[in-house]
Amino acid sequence: MDTNVRVRFAPSPTGPLHIGGVRTALYNYLFAKKHGGDFLLRIEDTDQTRFVEGAEEYIKESLDWCGISYDEGPEKPGDCGPYRQSERKDIYAEYVDKLIDNGRAYYAFDTEEELDAKRKEAENQGTKFSYGPKNRDSLNNSLSLSSDELQKKLAESDDYVIRFKTEAHKTLELHDEIRGYIEVDTEVLDDKILFKSDGMPTYHLANIVDDHLMRITHVIRGEEWLPSLPLHVSLYEAFGWEVPKFAHLPLILKPSGKGKLSKRDGDQLGFPVFPLEWKDPKTGNVSAGYREEGYLPETLTNMLALLGWNDGTDQEFFSLEDMTQKFELSRVHKSGAKFDPEKTDWFQHHYLQEQPVGDLVDEFLPILAQKEIYPEKVYVEEVVKTIRERATFVSEFWELSFFYFEAPKKFDEKSAKKAWKKDSEEWMRALIGKLQSLEEFSQAHIQAEVKDWINTQELGFGKIMQPLRLSLVGAMRGPDVFHIASCIGKAETISRLNFAIEELS
């Protein structure tokens, strides 16, 4: 077992966590657990302009709900903390100085106006401005200043940035665990900003410094970060550090397969793209979450695990533990994974059936209480056991079982037409007589007695069973009528039959 595996999930607290982010966290978690390693949570909050109140709590609560636990993080200190980048500012300043000292980074004093002018000029010539090896010598930066001039400039103002000095004319040989060998010519790269005038590092610098200091061995993250890979590998080399292994996960695509799954797709097609409900602190807008929509965390993790990975067999149901044992980075797909909301509901149906019945009862009781129905727990348990296989969500329980708790107030017209015939009244009156004579009112006993009785009357089964069901349920649906009858009891069964006779004859 490879015990020094260390991976991290490094979200920026800029809003709710998209399910793509949950999948990234999940794969990191699975990989760490599979190899007996550590999984870290690092909050990348250096971009103060994008900081959103409550986002970090949301991220932690989401992971917690999914059962994705981390070994080190903001509230779980290890020996690499702090785990919030805004608390590590001094570290980045120290490291960017090292790059300045070894000539791999430089100060740039260009103002926004100067850069804008350059951009416009390039645009007019039909090209795109890029700050890099080809033009940096002619721009407003420290590369051409003497050390005295530079010191003077720095003393005068702190309105400067620090840029990475991309090596010119070099072919970078990169390796991705999922995508394999990638070759990039540094010609296409620009000199990215590493440190901003506000004294904060950019994502690139902070991310690399932290991955190094936190002894991260594998960087597993979304495909959207693949374009940053050449810079990141160059930064490791510039620092003289060992490069971790990289794995870029495939995009999660819209159900149509055309483009990346967005929040808008969820709104339009009616499914959440966030694990938990999120209320935007600025606009007050609420976005739906899997938890609040009644999904189980097992559904979400199973569904996400299979969006981009499988174990090489036809197995589709995976508990977290099972996935942990079987997860392999080499089995993560290269191409985008189509999101499938129906499949999600299929998983949900499965996991609802696996829930302990007591948990389902506990969730159903408040729904009943809202209707001022307060049955005994054992009674609700009996009902839930009978109807759960027809349900995908607890929220459907009432519709599937209301007749166990209250008499139908009206009869479904179509069902009544089909089930209640001219002679139904006569037969239901006879059935009442039969039921009245029964001493025992268990499901099996009522069934045996009523069936016997039907046979001796030489009747078609439907003649009795259909109006009976209609009377008890109000429609032609629901579980075994004898089960319903025995649950609601003899008096209630007879009362419902009488009501039906009154209403339908």
- Positions that interact with ligand GLU (CB under 6 A): 10-12, 44, 203, 207, 221, 225
Q: Give the closest residue to 304 by CA, choosing from 61, 62, 33, 19.
A: 19
Rounded to 5 degrees, φ, ψ at 39 are -120, 125
Smallest distance from ligand GLU to CB 43, Å: 9
Q: Compute the distance between CA of residue 41 and CA of residue 39 in angstroms, rounded to an integer.
A: 7
> Contact 8/39 with Cβ under 8 angstroms?
yes
Taking the complex as a whole, the smallest distance from the CB of residue 204 to ligand GLU amounts, in Å, to 9
Q: Are 273 and 266 in contact (CB under 8 A)?
A: yes
Write down the least CB distance from residue 231 to ligand GLU, Å.
11
Would you state the structure tokens that stand for residue 235, as one six-digit string? Answer: 């930064």
Q: What is the CA radius of gyration of the chain?
A: 33
Question: Measured from the CB of residue 68, what is the shortest distance to ligand GLU in angstroms?
Answer: 15
CA 240/CA 179 separation, integer angstroms: 25
- Please report how close the Cβ of residue 203 comes to ligand GLU at its closest, in angstroms: 6
Task: Report the residue number, 38 or 382, with the smaller CB distance to ligand GLU.
Answer: 38
Q: Which is nearer to ligand GLU, 224 or 423 (CB)?
A: 224
Bridge partners (DSSP) of residue 39 are: 7
Tell me the closest approach of the beta carbon of residue 26 to ligand GLU, in angstroms: 14
CA angle 225, 227, 230 (to 5 degrees): 110
Contact residues for 450 (Cβ-Cβ < 8 A; gap 6+):
431, 434, 435, 464, 482
153 tagged catalytic: no
- Output 191 or 223, the one with its CB closest to ligand GLU: 223
- Name the residue nearer to ligand GLU (CB basis): 88 or 469: 88
- By beta-carbon proximity to ligand GLU, the closer residue of 186 and 207 is 207
For residue 269 the two structure tokens come to 């097609």
Residue type, 239: F
Token reading at 258: 């055309």
Q: Which is nearer to ligand GLU, 9 or 397 (CB)?
A: 9
Query: Is-cis flag, bond preceding 82, omega within 30?
Result: yes
Shortest Å, Cβ 300 to ligand GLU: 19
Cα dist from 270 to 297, 314, 341, whole Å: 19, 29, 9
Q: From the candidates 89, 98, 263, 451, give the one annotated as an active-site residue.
A: 263
Question: Per residue, what are the HEC states of 359-409?
Answer: HHHHHHHHHHHHCCCCCCHHHHHHHHHHHHHHCCCHHHHHHHHHHHCCCCC
Q: Find all residues with CB under 8 Å of 217, minimum gap 6, and list them.
A: 4, 5, 6, 7, 37, 244, 245
Residue at token pair 């993790």: 301
Of 13 and 408, nearer to ligand GLU (C-beta) is 13
User: What is the helix (H) or strand (E) element at residue 378, kind and residue range?
Assistant: helix 377-387
Residue closest to 325 by CA, chosen among 305, 352, 342: 305
Q: How far is the CB of 324 from ligand GLU (least distance, A)?
A: 21
Which run of H or of E encompasses 494? helix 490-504
Query: Could you give the residue numbers annotated as active site?
Result: 263
